[in-house]
Structure 1
């Protein structure tokens, strides 16, 4: 194999892995956060070297907070979920045949 083919395989592999990670984060957000948390916890254990522990702490997913406007409805400020819009029935019309 020539060096160009090796470089090409590495670039294509990196693009495929990046696409897979992006798709998982967009389509399965709870699962990807759970996987990210599991990876971060395994890297943050005391038996790991300092560099890996630092990476593990950096990978920890952000804690979800229910601030005002989040739609959780758990506070007394009245910023609960917005009501659904009025539903309008579909109207089907026949095409005029000329």
Structure 2
């Protein structure tokens, strides 16, 4: 029975990790929904504290961060100009 519980916990942890890596926006929405439901005034103090701790952090993007999500037009910077690759023969010393 203990082995089943441990394997189940490992599967759930793997699922959470995969969701956070492959669907970051969706997992943040789910996390925010869970945090909001735990933070309601009708919940006990401990659950409200857990809800406050689970609240996802907001993106700290600003001008020059490269996010390109605001209407200021700062967007991602263009890549530097490309330089051609030059090969040189080894000197036989």
TM-score (norm 1): 0.70
1:86–1:9: structure 2 CA closer, same or farther, 3 Å change rule? farther
Matched, 1:13 2:29: no
Q: How much does 1:70 deviate?
A: 2.0
TM-score (norm 2): 0.74
**Could you tell me how far apart the structure 2 residues matched to 1:22 and 1:47 are?**
30
4+ residue runs over 3 A deviation: 84-87
- Equivalence for 1:26: 21
* Consecutive unaligned residues in structure 2, runs of 5 or more: 83-93
1:16–1:85: structure 2 CA closer, same or farther, 3 Å change rule? farther
Q: How well do the aligned residues superpose, as a CA RMSD in angstroms?
A: 2.5
The one of 43, 48, 52 equivalent to 1:48 is 43
Q: How much does 1:72 deviate?
A: 3.1
- Equivalence for 2:76: 81
**Could you tell me how far apart the structure 2 residues matched to 1:67 and 1:17 are?**
35
* Consecutive unaligned residues in structure 1, runs of 5 or more: 1-5, 88-98
